[in-house]
Amino acid sequence: MKKLIVFDLDGTLALSKSAIDPEMAELLNRLLGLIKVAIISGGDWPQFQKQVLSKLTTQKSLNNLSILPACGTKYYQHHSRWEKLYEENFSEQESANIISLLNKAIASANLLPDQQWGALIDNRGSQITYSGLGQSAPLKEKSSWDPDFSKRKVVKGILDKSLSDYSITIGGATSIDITAKGLDKAYGILKLPENLGILDTEMIFMGDALFDGGNDQPVRKTKAVCIRVRDPEETKRVIEGLLALLG
């Protein structure tokens, strides 16, 4: 049996920027009582607090949970309280250059929205994220904006040329994540053995964006067993199967 279960967040444990539902919270509570768990996502630390941590009822098992925001360019562990182990931030000059070129790519792709909810670009320190309708767009609007990724693939194609020294990946319902080259989810996944004393061969990873260009896809470069799920409902069924094996 594996020693660590790693999950993506949006599209895997919860709908985009939404809290995990009570059934998922209960399944995660049970899983944390039996095995180490990690969650890695393009979202920043406050999103994890809102979407996951505020919904978990278990406290004594939190030492089994690792949180990796911004596609693993940040890492938090719990030892009586949450502690940040590292953060791989861009310099101010790098951030300004990335944001400038990202704005040009959005305009070139003709994707400035007629209506937006919050800023289109979020500087998360170690990651810069573009959200097509704004950071606070309603789930209904986001779900119908780019379901086949075609809009974001145009922007990614432009950025792959103008920001060739960086990692550009598609994630969530409307997002593109930009991190330093090599600082993607594979980087975060490989930090887990370093800090938890396990091997990447002893991990299972679940995510909805394991397709080419998706922000889960870099995990395929590791030796973790990768399971692509359609949505949180399918993730629940996989967790139930794992609980049966563990229990």
List, for residues 61-115, the tens digit of each pLDDT value: 999 999 999 999 999 999 889 999 999 999 999 999 999 999 999 999 999 999 9
Whose CA is closest to 94, among 171, 180, 187?
180
Query: Is residue 208 classed as helix, strand or coil in its secondary structure?
Result: coil
pLDDT for the residue numbered 247: 81
Examine the domain organization and report whether 189 and 78 are in the same domain: yes
Give yes or no: residues 81 and 104 share one domain: no
Is 54 found in the same domain as 157?
A: no
- C-alpha to C-alpha distance for 215 and 245, rounded to whole angstroms: 29
Using the 3D structure, point to which of 122, 146, 180 is the last residue of a domain.
Answer: 180
pLDDT, the chain, mean = 95
Chain segment 168-221, per-residue pLDDT in tens:
999 888 999 999 998 999 999 999 998 999 999 999 999 999 998 888 999 999
The packing angle between helices 92-108 and 150-162, to 10°, is 130
Decide: residue 13, CB within 10 A, 0-12 exposed, 13-18 middle, 19+ buried.
buried
**Structural domain total, the chain:** 2
- The domain in which residue 84 lies consists of 4-88+183-246
User: pTM (2 decimals)?
Assistant: 0.87
Region 45-71 average pLDDT: 94
Does the pLDDT of residue 54 top 90, yes or no?
yes
**Whether residue 136 is found in the same domain as residue 107:** yes
Closest CA to 84 of 61, 67, 60: 67
Q: What is the CATH number of the domain that holds 232?
A: 3.40.50.1000
188 lies in the same domain as 140: no
Residues 83 and 120 in one domain: no
Same structural domain for residues 80 and 199? yes
245 CB-contact burial (10 Å; exposed 0-12 / middle 13-18 / buried 19+): exposed
Average pLDDT over residues 125-144: 95
- Which CATH number characterizes residue 115's domain? 3.30.1240.20
Residue 72 DSSP symbol: G
